[in-house]
Amino acid sequence: MRAPEPPRLPRALAGYTLGSAAGLGWTNTVYALQGPGHQGFFRAPRSATPPPGVDWAREGALLGAAGSLAAPVRFFDSETGRLATEACPGTPLDAASLRAGSCCWALGQQLRRLHALPYPKNAPPFHPARYSLSCLERAGAQGISADPRWQGRLEALLSYPLRSDRLTHNDLHGGNVLRHGLRFTFLDWELASPGDPHFELVTLATHLGLGHRQAGALFSSYGAMLPTAGAWRMLETLHWLREYAWALWARGEGITEAEVQERQAIQALEHLEAS
Protein backbone atom coordinates (compact mmCIF):
# COMPACT_ATOMS: atom_id res chain seq x y z
CA MET A 1 0.00 0.00 0.00
CA ARG A 2 1.64 3.19 -1.16
CA ALA A 3 1.13 6.47 0.65
CA PRO A 4 -0.71 9.17 -1.32
CA GLU A 5 0.91 12.47 -2.16
CA PRO A 6 1.25 14.73 0.91
CA PRO A 7 -1.66 17.19 1.11
CA ARG A 8 -1.38 20.95 1.23
CA LEU A 9 -1.94 22.36 4.69
CA PRO A 10 -4.97 24.62 5.21
CA ARG A 11 -4.53 28.31 5.84
CA ALA A 12 -5.46 27.83 9.48
CA LEU A 13 -2.14 26.00 9.91
CA ALA A 14 0.01 28.73 8.37
CA GLY A 15 3.48 28.53 9.89
CA TYR A 16 3.30 24.74 10.29
CA THR A 17 5.26 22.32 8.16
CA LEU A 18 4.28 18.82 7.16
CA GLY A 19 6.76 16.03 7.80
CA SER A 20 6.90 12.50 6.51
CA ALA A 21 4.05 10.02 6.87
CA ALA A 22 4.02 8.86 10.49
CA GLY A 23 1.36 6.22 9.87
CA LEU A 24 -0.43 4.74 6.87
CA GLY A 25 -3.81 3.33 7.80
CA TRP A 26 -6.57 1.85 5.73
CA THR A 27 -8.65 5.02 5.75
CA ASN A 28 -6.17 7.79 6.65
CA THR A 29 -2.57 8.83 6.26
CA VAL A 30 -1.09 10.53 9.34
CA TYR A 31 1.80 12.97 8.92
CA ALA A 32 4.12 14.54 11.43
CA LEU A 33 3.32 18.23 11.97
CA GLN A 34 5.75 20.86 13.19
CA GLY A 35 4.70 24.37 14.23
CA PRO A 36 5.91 27.27 16.35
CA GLY A 37 6.56 25.61 19.69
CA HIS A 38 4.29 22.70 18.82
CA GLN A 39 4.61 19.18 17.54
CA GLY A 40 1.67 17.18 16.38
CA PHE A 41 0.06 15.12 13.68
CA PHE A 42 -2.04 15.83 10.61
CA ARG A 43 -4.58 13.26 9.48
CA ALA A 44 -5.60 13.22 5.82
CA PRO A 45 -8.39 10.81 4.76
CA ARG A 46 -7.37 8.71 1.75
CA SER A 47 -10.77 9.10 0.13
CA ALA A 48 -13.20 11.98 -0.30
CA THR A 49 -16.01 9.57 0.62
CA PRO A 50 -16.23 8.73 4.33
CA PRO A 51 -15.82 5.03 5.18
CA PRO A 52 -18.89 3.11 6.41
CA GLY A 53 -20.29 4.54 9.62
CA VAL A 54 -18.04 7.61 9.62
CA ASP A 55 -19.56 11.04 10.19
CA TRP A 56 -16.84 13.68 10.37
CA ALA A 57 -19.15 16.36 11.76
CA ARG A 58 -20.12 14.04 14.62
CA GLU A 59 -16.46 13.22 15.24
CA GLY A 60 -15.60 16.92 15.48
CA ALA A 61 -18.32 17.51 18.07
CA LEU A 62 -17.17 14.55 20.14
CA LEU A 63 -13.53 15.61 20.05
CA GLY A 64 -14.61 18.99 21.36
CA ALA A 65 -16.28 17.33 24.36
CA ALA A 66 -13.66 14.65 25.06
CA GLY A 67 -11.23 16.84 27.01
CA SER A 68 -8.12 15.00 28.19
CA LEU A 69 -9.39 11.68 26.80
CA ALA A 70 -8.45 12.82 23.26
CA ALA A 71 -5.45 14.62 21.79
CA PRO A 72 -5.91 18.43 21.76
CA VAL A 73 -7.29 19.56 18.39
CA ARG A 74 -5.61 22.40 16.51
CA PHE A 75 -7.61 22.13 13.28
CA PHE A 76 -10.59 20.13 12.07
CA ASP A 77 -12.56 20.21 8.83
CA SER A 78 -15.87 18.38 9.16
CA GLU A 79 -16.40 18.31 5.39
CA THR A 80 -13.14 16.56 4.48
CA GLY A 81 -12.17 14.86 7.76
CA ARG A 82 -8.77 16.55 7.82
CA LEU A 83 -7.58 16.83 11.41
CA ALA A 84 -4.55 18.33 13.16
CA THR A 85 -3.82 17.45 16.79
CA GLU A 86 -1.05 18.09 19.24
CA ALA A 87 1.31 15.23 19.95
CA CYS A 88 0.56 13.29 23.13
CA PRO A 89 3.12 11.28 25.08
CA GLY A 90 2.60 7.57 25.37
CA THR A 91 3.00 4.17 23.81
CA PRO A 92 0.34 1.90 22.26
CA LEU A 93 -1.51 -0.20 24.81
CA ASP A 94 -0.59 -3.88 25.08
CA ALA A 95 -1.66 -6.79 27.25
CA ALA A 96 1.57 -6.78 29.25
CA SER A 97 0.95 -3.28 30.60
CA LEU A 98 -2.44 -4.33 31.98
CA ARG A 99 -0.83 -6.94 34.22
CA ALA A 100 -0.15 -4.08 36.61
CA GLY A 101 -3.31 -3.69 38.65
CA SER A 102 -2.98 0.09 38.85
CA CYS A 103 -2.76 0.38 35.06
CA CYS A 104 -5.76 -1.89 34.51
CA TRP A 105 -7.81 0.02 37.09
CA ALA A 106 -6.92 3.39 35.53
CA LEU A 107 -7.89 2.16 32.07
CA GLY A 108 -11.24 0.89 33.32
CA GLN A 109 -12.01 4.20 35.00
CA GLN A 110 -11.05 6.26 31.97
CA LEU A 111 -13.17 4.06 29.74
CA ARG A 112 -16.07 4.81 32.08
CA ARG A 113 -15.39 8.52 31.55
CA LEU A 114 -15.39 8.02 27.78
CA HIS A 115 -18.67 6.14 27.90
CA ALA A 116 -20.24 8.89 30.02
CA LEU A 117 -19.53 11.61 27.44
CA PRO A 118 -22.58 13.23 25.81
CA TYR A 119 -23.29 12.34 22.21
CA PRO A 120 -25.36 14.06 19.52
CA LYS A 121 -28.98 13.02 19.94
CA ASN A 122 -29.31 12.41 16.20
CA ALA A 123 -26.34 10.03 16.16
CA PRO A 124 -27.42 6.57 14.92
CA PRO A 125 -26.88 3.73 17.41
CA PHE A 126 -23.96 1.43 16.67
CA HIS A 127 -24.92 -2.23 16.33
CA PRO A 128 -22.05 -4.33 14.95
CA ALA A 129 -24.32 -6.55 12.83
CA ARG A 130 -26.04 -3.60 11.15
CA TYR A 131 -22.72 -1.84 10.71
CA SER A 132 -21.16 -4.96 9.20
CA LEU A 133 -23.97 -5.37 6.69
CA SER A 134 -23.43 -1.78 5.55
CA CYS A 135 -19.76 -2.65 5.00
CA LEU A 136 -20.78 -5.70 2.95
CA GLU A 137 -23.17 -3.56 0.90
CA ARG A 138 -20.33 -1.14 0.10
CA ALA A 139 -18.05 -4.09 -0.71
CA GLY A 140 -20.68 -5.61 -2.99
CA ALA A 141 -20.90 -2.35 -4.94
CA GLN A 142 -17.19 -2.84 -5.66
CA GLY A 143 -17.67 -6.45 -6.80
CA ILE A 144 -16.57 -8.13 -3.54
CA SER A 145 -18.98 -10.86 -2.40
CA ALA A 146 -19.29 -12.11 1.17
CA ASP A 147 -19.23 -15.77 2.13
CA PRO A 148 -22.94 -16.72 2.56
CA ARG A 149 -22.11 -18.37 5.91
CA TRP A 150 -20.95 -15.13 7.49
CA GLN A 151 -23.52 -12.91 5.82
CA GLY A 152 -26.25 -15.24 7.04
CA ARG A 153 -24.76 -15.18 10.53
CA LEU A 154 -24.82 -11.39 10.48
CA GLU A 155 -28.43 -11.26 9.34
CA ALA A 156 -29.39 -13.65 12.13
CA LEU A 157 -27.71 -11.39 14.70
CA LEU A 158 -29.43 -8.16 13.65
CA SER A 159 -31.90 -8.60 16.50
CA TYR A 160 -29.26 -9.49 19.11
CA PRO A 161 -30.01 -7.12 22.03
CA LEU A 162 -27.33 -4.53 22.70
CA ARG A 163 -27.44 -1.27 24.62
CA SER A 164 -27.21 2.04 22.82
CA ASP A 165 -27.44 4.50 25.72
CA ARG A 166 -23.74 5.24 26.16
CA LEU A 167 -21.16 6.82 23.91
CA THR A 168 -18.78 4.14 22.63
CA HIS A 169 -15.60 4.58 20.61
CA ASN A 170 -16.27 1.54 18.37
CA ASP A 171 -12.68 1.15 17.16
CA LEU A 172 -10.75 0.35 20.31
CA HIS A 173 -7.53 -1.58 19.86
CA GLY A 174 -4.02 -1.15 21.21
CA GLY A 175 -2.97 1.21 18.44
CA ASN A 176 -5.82 3.61 19.25
CA VAL A 177 -5.01 3.80 22.97
CA LEU A 178 -1.85 5.60 24.05
CA ARG A 179 -0.65 4.84 27.58
CA HIS A 180 1.45 7.35 29.53
CA GLY A 181 1.82 6.14 33.08
CA LEU A 182 -1.74 5.91 34.37
CA ARG A 183 -3.16 8.27 31.75
CA PHE A 184 -4.69 7.17 28.45
CA THR A 185 -5.34 9.07 25.24
CA PHE A 186 -7.88 7.61 22.85
CA LEU A 187 -7.24 8.17 19.15
CA ASP A 188 -9.37 7.90 16.00
CA TRP A 189 -12.92 8.81 17.05
CA GLU A 190 -14.38 8.46 13.55
CA LEU A 191 -16.86 5.70 14.46
CA ALA A 192 -17.83 6.95 17.93
CA SER A 193 -21.59 6.87 18.50
CA PRO A 194 -24.06 5.49 21.06
CA GLY A 195 -23.45 1.81 21.63
CA ASP A 196 -22.89 -0.99 24.14
CA PRO A 197 -19.95 -0.63 26.57
CA HIS A 198 -19.77 -4.39 27.14
CA PHE A 199 -19.28 -5.03 23.43
CA GLU A 200 -16.56 -2.37 23.45
CA LEU A 201 -14.74 -4.05 26.36
CA VAL A 202 -14.95 -7.47 24.69
CA THR A 203 -13.61 -5.94 21.46
CA LEU A 204 -10.63 -4.38 23.25
CA ALA A 205 -9.90 -7.57 25.20
CA THR A 206 -10.05 -9.63 22.00
CA HIS A 207 -7.76 -7.25 20.11
CA LEU A 208 -5.23 -7.38 22.96
CA GLY A 209 -5.49 -11.16 23.31
CA LEU A 210 -6.39 -10.97 27.00
CA GLY A 211 -6.89 -14.24 28.82
CA HIS A 212 -9.93 -14.90 31.00
CA ARG A 213 -8.26 -13.59 34.15
CA GLN A 214 -7.03 -10.36 32.55
CA ALA A 215 -10.37 -9.78 30.85
CA GLY A 216 -12.08 -10.25 34.21
CA ALA A 217 -9.74 -7.69 35.76
CA LEU A 218 -10.55 -5.19 32.99
CA PHE A 219 -14.31 -5.59 33.49
CA SER A 220 -13.89 -5.35 37.27
CA SER A 221 -11.80 -2.17 36.93
CA TYR A 222 -14.56 -0.74 34.77
CA GLY A 223 -17.12 -1.66 37.42
CA ALA A 224 -18.94 -4.38 35.49
CA MET A 225 -19.41 -8.11 35.76
CA LEU A 226 -17.64 -10.32 33.23
CA PRO A 227 -20.23 -11.60 30.71
CA THR A 228 -21.25 -15.22 30.93
CA ALA A 229 -19.43 -17.63 28.62
CA GLY A 230 -22.40 -17.67 26.26
CA ALA A 231 -22.73 -13.89 26.15
CA TRP A 232 -18.97 -13.48 25.65
CA ARG A 233 -19.06 -15.90 22.73
CA MET A 234 -21.86 -13.95 21.05
CA LEU A 235 -20.09 -10.60 21.54
CA GLU A 236 -16.82 -12.04 20.29
CA THR A 237 -18.65 -13.47 17.26
CA LEU A 238 -20.06 -10.02 16.53
CA HIS A 239 -16.56 -8.58 16.85
CA TRP A 240 -15.05 -10.98 14.31
CA LEU A 241 -17.99 -10.62 11.92
CA ARG A 242 -17.38 -6.88 11.99
CA GLU A 243 -13.67 -7.42 11.35
CA TYR A 244 -14.53 -9.67 8.40
CA ALA A 245 -17.03 -7.22 6.89
CA TRP A 246 -14.67 -4.26 7.35
CA ALA A 247 -11.90 -6.21 5.62
CA LEU A 248 -14.14 -6.94 2.63
CA TRP A 249 -15.03 -3.27 2.32
CA ALA A 250 -11.35 -2.33 2.50
CA ARG A 251 -10.44 -4.93 -0.12
CA GLY A 252 -13.10 -3.43 -2.36
CA GLU A 253 -11.30 -0.11 -1.95
CA GLY A 254 -8.12 -1.72 -3.29
CA ILE A 255 -6.41 -2.13 0.09
CA THR A 256 -4.77 -5.52 -0.40
CA GLU A 257 -3.47 -5.64 3.19
CA ALA A 258 -7.08 -6.20 4.27
CA GLU A 259 -6.74 -9.80 3.12
CA VAL A 260 -4.70 -10.54 6.26
CA GLN A 261 -7.52 -9.35 8.52
CA GLU A 262 -10.07 -11.20 6.42
CA ARG A 263 -8.21 -14.50 6.89
CA GLN A 264 -7.73 -13.85 10.60
CA ALA A 265 -11.44 -13.12 11.05
CA ILE A 266 -12.47 -16.25 9.14
CA GLN A 267 -10.17 -18.42 11.25
CA ALA A 268 -11.55 -16.92 14.46
CA LEU A 269 -15.16 -17.38 13.29
CA GLU A 270 -14.55 -20.98 12.29
CA HIS A 271 -13.02 -21.64 15.71
CA LEU A 272 -16.02 -20.08 17.46
CA GLU A 273 -18.44 -22.09 15.34
CA ALA A 274 -16.59 -25.33 16.10
CA SER A 275 -16.30 -24.76 19.87
Of 11-20, 160-169, 176-185, 228-237, the one with minimum mean pLDDT is 11-20
pLDDT of residue 151: 98
pLDDT at residue number 118: 95
What per-residue confidence (pLDDT) applies to 242?
98
pLDDT in tens, 176-218: 999 999 999 999 999 999 999 999 999 999 999 999 999 999 9
**Position 38 in a domain:** yes
Domain range enclosing 33: 11-86
Rounded to whole angstroms, the Cα distance separating 257 from 242 reads 17
pLDDT of residue 2: 55
Give the model confidence (pLDDT) of 79-90 as tens digits. 999 999 999 999
- Give dist(CA 263, CA 246) in Å, integer: 12
Average the pLDDT over 26-55 and give the result. 90
Domain-located, residue 4 = no
In the predicted structure, residue 3 carries a pLDDT above the cut 80: no
Query: Exposure of 80 by Cβ count < 10 A (0-12 exposed, 13-18 middle, 19+ buried)?
Result: middle
> How does the average pLDDT of the chain come out, rounded?
94
60 and 174 part of one domain: no
**pLDDT value at residue 227:** 97
Residue 41's CATH number: 3.30.200
Q: If 0-12 CB within 10 Å is exposed, 13-18 middle and 19+ buried, where does residue 148 land? A: exposed
Note whether residue 41 is domain-resident. yes
Instruction: Say if strands 38-45 and 83-86 run parallel, antiparallel, or are unpaired.
Output: antiparallel
Instruction: Say yes or no: 77 and 104 in one domain.
Output: no
Q: How far is CA 158 from the centre of its chain?
A: 21
- pTM for the full predicted model: 0.94
- Considering the domain boundaries, does residue 6 fall inside one? no
State the total domains in the chain: 2
204-261 pLDDT, tens per residue? 999 999 999 999 999 999 999 999 999 999 999 999 999 999 999 999 988 888 999 9
